[in-house]
């Protein structure tokens, strides 16, 4: 006697409560096994697929058709081969972000995946604003080929695409470590201080020499700080008032904290400003360089070791160890060459509006100026963020609920 047939039951129709329960009630009354099940609702239209094993002579398909007729839903049946072998194939999460994100860009991305041997298993929209974001779950494929193809698509269409393993490790991220200048905030603090000291041109010249590779970070930082000698400490308060958070920064940190993340900043800037950000945003850790102050004025010198490229990576490792996490559970975010070691040390390194050398070295790159877009790379839905905000009495009272179509706070 031949064994049971594997049948894919495809259900479509207008969604309403109880349809899935009714279908499962029919299956429960028959001698069948349920191998797999997946459901999605788009604009109140239900699509449900159930993979079942039906013994020879079993009338469950007739019973399902009768239930569908009673319920006003359509059912199709297909005999399929056993697909259990797919369970052992590699799976990848491909996050696509655009503003806008039209069919031409999506077609190019899906073609890039197919050309790399990947098969799209699932598609979900994570956000409609301030950017549009889709997540594809891809089965199999040559990841290097897919990544290369997708990078070319991102450049051609002006979108961001991240590809990472769809695995337990992706969901185990628990610590975010960020750079500050041009990442958490829109400004470069040393330049704001230089404006206060009247030496902006000289500081920019030193910065340019460092960017051209003529000076290392520590040398350039000490030279720029030396130009601030004699600046009154009252200027620090004025600079703090001028700092501008990156759009989406509050949403990003607030959401991370709600879902149990620790959040740290590690900066080549200065402690008066990172300490203020830590207090304002409720950050767990803040590390930066310390300005020497004597008699209420800056001396033009720094106190203690410099937070440079190598030390940023060490601090990341130290914070992770102190919190009980492995570095694989860390997400690092930065924009400059000083962040390269930190991005490499993390389980996921994200170049945010970064210099080309950083974009090329990071695991993934985001070019849209919204810090909370990083949440989508982590698989968080915008709707879930907004739902959490609406249920937070403090958030509602403060009047901080974002209006659809406007940049987030």
The order of strands in the sheet holding 330-334 is: 297-303, 285-294, 262-270, 175-178, 330-334, 348-352, 364-366
Q: Catalytic annotation on 59?
A: no
Instruction: Please tell me the distance from the alpha carbon of residue 369 to that of residue 249, in angstroms, as a whole number.
Output: 10
Which residues of the chain form CATH 3.30.70.260?
5-85, 89-166
Domain 176-189+232-397: which CATH class? Answer: alpha beta
The pLDDT assigned to 39 comes to 87
Q: Which pLDDT tens digits describe the chain residue by residue (409 residues)?
A: 467 888 999 999 999 999 999 999 999 888 788 888 888 888 889 999 999 989 888 889 999 999 999 999 999 999 987 655 556 788 999 999 999 899 999 999 999 999 999 999 889 999 998 899 999 999 999 999 999 999 999 999 999 999 999 888 888 999 999 999 999 999 999 999 999 999 999 998 888 777 666 788 899 999 999 999 999 999 999 999 999 999 999 999 999 999 999 999 999 999 999 999 999 999 999 999 999 999 999 999 999 999 999 999 999 999 999 999 999 999 999 998 889 999 999 999 999 998 888 888 898 999 999 999 999 999 999 999 998 888 877 664 443 433 334 444 4
Q: Catalytic annotation on 49?
A: no
Domain 89-166: which CATH class? Answer: alpha beta
CATH architecture designation of domain 5-85: 2-Layer Sandwich (3.30)
**Contact status, residue 233 vs residue 297, Cβ threshold 8 Å:** yes
Q: 15, 181, 339, 389: which one is catalytic?
A: 181
CB burial readout 93-124, b (16+ within 10 A) else e = bbbbbbbebeeebbebbbebbeebebebbeee
Contact partners, residue 71, CB within 8 Å, separation at least 6: 13, 19, 22
Q: 31, 59, 160, 179: which one is catalytic?
A: 179
Q: C-alpha distances in angstroms, 214 versus 60, 211, 224, 285, 360?
A: 76, 7, 14, 32, 21
Which residues of the chain form CATH 3.40.50.1000?
176-189+232-397
Contact partners, residue 11, CB within 8 Å, separation at least 6: 19, 23, 46, 47, 48, 49, 50, 68, 73, 74, 75
Q: How deeply is 3 buried, as exposed, middle or buried, from its count of CB atoms within 10 A (0-12, 13-18, 19+)?
A: exposed
Instruction: Please tell me the distance from the alpha carbon of residue 276 to that of residue 404, in angstroms, as a whole number.
Output: 30
Q: C-alpha distances in angstroms, 1 versus 55, 351, 381?
A: 10, 60, 49
Q: Is the entire prediction scored with pTM above 0.75?
A: yes
Instruction: Please tell me the distance from the alpha carbon of residue 319 to that of residue 178, in angstroms, as a whole number.
Output: 12
């Amino acid at each position: 006697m031949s064994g049971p047939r594997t049948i894919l039951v495809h259900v479509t129709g207008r969604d309403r409560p109880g349809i899935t329960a009714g279908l499962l009630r029919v299956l429960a009354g028959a001698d069948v096994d349920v191998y797999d099940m997946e459901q999605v609702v788009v604009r109140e239209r239900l699509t449900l697929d159930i993979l079942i094993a039906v013994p020879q002579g079993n009338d469950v398909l007739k019973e399902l058709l009768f239930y569908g007729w009673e319920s006003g839903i359509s059912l199709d049946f297909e005999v399929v081969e056993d697909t259990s072998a797919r369970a052992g194939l590699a799976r990848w999460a491909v996050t696509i972000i655009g503003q806008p994100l039209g069919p031409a860009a999506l077609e190019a991305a899906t073609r890039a995946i197919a050309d790399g041997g990947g098969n799209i298993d699932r598609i979900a929209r994570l956000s409609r604003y301030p950017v549009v974001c889709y997540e594809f779950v891809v089965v199999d494929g040559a990841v290097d080929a897919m990544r290369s193809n997708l990078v070319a698509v991102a450049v051609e269409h002006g979108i961001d695409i991240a590809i990472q393993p769809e695995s337990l490790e992706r969901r185990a991220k628990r610590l975010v470590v960020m750079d500050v200048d041009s990442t958490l905030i829109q400004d470069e603090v040393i330049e704001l201080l230089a404006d206060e000291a009247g030496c902006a041109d000289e500081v920019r010249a030193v910065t340019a020499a460092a960017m051209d590779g003529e000076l290392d970070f520590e040398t350039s930082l000490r030279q720029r700080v030396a130009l601030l000698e004699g600046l009154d400490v009252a200027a620090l308060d004025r600079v703090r008032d001028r700092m501008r958070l990156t759009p989406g920064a509050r949403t990003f940190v607030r959401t991370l904290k709600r879902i149990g993340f620790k959040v740290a900043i590690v900066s080549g800037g200065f402690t008066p400003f990172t300490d203020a950000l830590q207090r304002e945003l409720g950050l767990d850790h803040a590390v930066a360089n310390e300005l020497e102050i004597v008699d209420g004025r800056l001396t033009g010198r720094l106190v203690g070791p410099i937070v440079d490229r190598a030390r940023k990576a060490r601090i990341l490792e130290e914070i992770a160890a102190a919190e009980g996490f492995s570095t694989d559970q860390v997400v690092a975010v930065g924009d400059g060459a000083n962040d390269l070691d930190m991005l490499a040390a993390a389980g996921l390194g994200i170049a945010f509006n970064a210099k080309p050398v950083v974009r090329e070295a990071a695991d993934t790159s985001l070019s849209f100026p919204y810090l909370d877009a990083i949440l989508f790379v982590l698989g968080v839905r915008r709707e879930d963020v907004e739902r959490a905000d609406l249920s937070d009495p403090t958030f509602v009272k403060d009047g901080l609920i974002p209006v659809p179509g406007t940049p987030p706070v």
